[in-house]
Amino acid sequence: MKIYLSGKLVDESDAKVSVFDHGLLYGDGVFEGIRAYHGKVFLLDEHVDRLYDSAKAIALEIPMTRAEMAQAVVETCAANNMTSGYIRLVVTRGVGTLGLNPYLCKKPEIIIIAAAIQLYPPELYETGMRVVTVGTVRNHPEAVNPRIKSLNYLNNVMAKIEAINAGVMECIMLNPQGLVAEASGDNVFVLKNGVLKTPPVWCGALDGITRRAVMRIAEDAGIPVREEPMQRYDLFTADEMFLTGTAAEVIAVTNVDRRTIGDGTPGATTLDLQSRFKEYVKHHGTPIPAS
Ligand code: PXG
């Protein structure tokens, strides 16, 4: 496998970063998780824009343009003959001292990995998944804003530990006000009386690229879409519920904290949006050139 490392494509065995990199020492950096489908990088420009916004928010200046970054992503896919899979794009603060000061770090490190994707088991898409709400509160937006896709994922990891300990694979996190924020690595949607609802990002959600795509797809299909603050009550009483994310795509939730959602099987609108999403990914990507 060839890895992009700050300007060069190197062999996996040579793709090494320093133990003094602040990405490792402090989780100081930002990243993107991107999918490629059918020889195209899905919504690449939206991912690159979000990466630069995340970097801006943590005062990290990426030493290349957005166009160069997008080009580096498709070149890394091409070098690995990848037509579908998972791309991890990471920008760390780079090598610095053992102190926090990010201004002492010389140069951000840019890493692009094009690999296979780890998916949920296929049966879960047929049965829908069970989730629980967890005690780990989503980061306060003025501590680490959940809109920043930062390398510091401990908040999400702690929530995921609670989910696994409860015997489920994903969880719902609440914000410091007790409102629904998002899952540990996915956004949340409910359908109630024909209206599709998702928490606004200010409630503690990442501005998910899949979330945006599903909102556009639903609007085009004539389904009313609203961003609305939500309580656990709104999950328990939903007609349908699903999660969205780059890895999960669109996956039904059929049980929350032992309350059955709808009739306990993936809802008709969820299934419809799943199939529309499958079609959408065919037509919304940046082509990977033949290497
Ligand atoms: N919320 C959080 C906290 C996430 O980390 C999403 C929502 C969904 O956003 P997108 O833009 O993907 O629709 C994410 C995305 C991984 C992995 O390797 C994690 C994500 C995406 C891809 C891979 O764990 N998280």
**Tens digits of per-residue pLDDT, 134-178?**
999 999 999 999 999 999 999 999 999 999 999 999 999 999 999
**pLDDT(291) > 80:** no
Q: Are strands 249-256 and 129-133 parallel, antiparallel or unpaired?
A: parallel
Separation of 209 CA from ligand 1 center, angstroms? 9
CA 7/CA 24 separation, integer angstroms: 20
Looking at residue 275, its pLDDT comes to: 97
Looking at residue 117, its pLDDT comes to: 86
Ligand 1: residue of 34, 136, 157, 206 to mutate (most ligand atoms within 8 A of CB) is 206
CATH code: domain 2-115 is: 3.30.470.10
Over residues 210-215, the mean pLDDT reads 98
Calculated CA dihedral for residues 155, 156, 157, 163, nearest 10 degrees = 120
Over residues 69-85, the mean pLDDT reads 97
CA 189/CA 238 separation, integer angstroms: 10
Ligand 1: residue of 207, 246, 251, 280 to mutate (most ligand atoms within 8 A of CB) is 246
Nearest-CA residue for atom 2 of ligand 1? 185
CA 188/CA 52 separation, integer angstroms: 24
CA 88/CA 73 separation, integer angstroms: 9
Looking at residue 47, its pLDDT comes to: 98
Q: Which CATH superfamily is domain 124-280 in?
A: D-amino Acid Aminotransferase, subunit A, domain 2 (3.20.10.10)
Nearest-CA residue for atom 5 of ligand 1? 185
Say what percent of the chain tops pLDDT 90: 97
255-273: pLDDT as tens digits: 999 999 999 999 999 999 9
Looking at residue 149, its pLDDT comes to: 98
Fold matches, 2-115 and 124-280? no
Task: List the catalytic residues.
Answer: 149
Looking at residue 245, its pLDDT comes to: 98
**Average pLDDT over the chain, rounded to whole?**
97
Over residues 199-206, the mean pLDDT reads 98
Over residues 176-200, the mean pLDDT reads 98
HSE-CB for 107 with a 13 A CA cutoff: 10
Helices of type H across 3-148: 22-26, 44-57, 66-79, 123-127
Looking at residue 31, its pLDDT comes to: 98
Looking at residue 75, its pLDDT comes to: 97
Say what percent of the chain tops pLDDT 70: 100
110-124: pLDDT as tens digits: 999 999 988 889 999
Domain boundaries, the chain: 2-115, 124-280
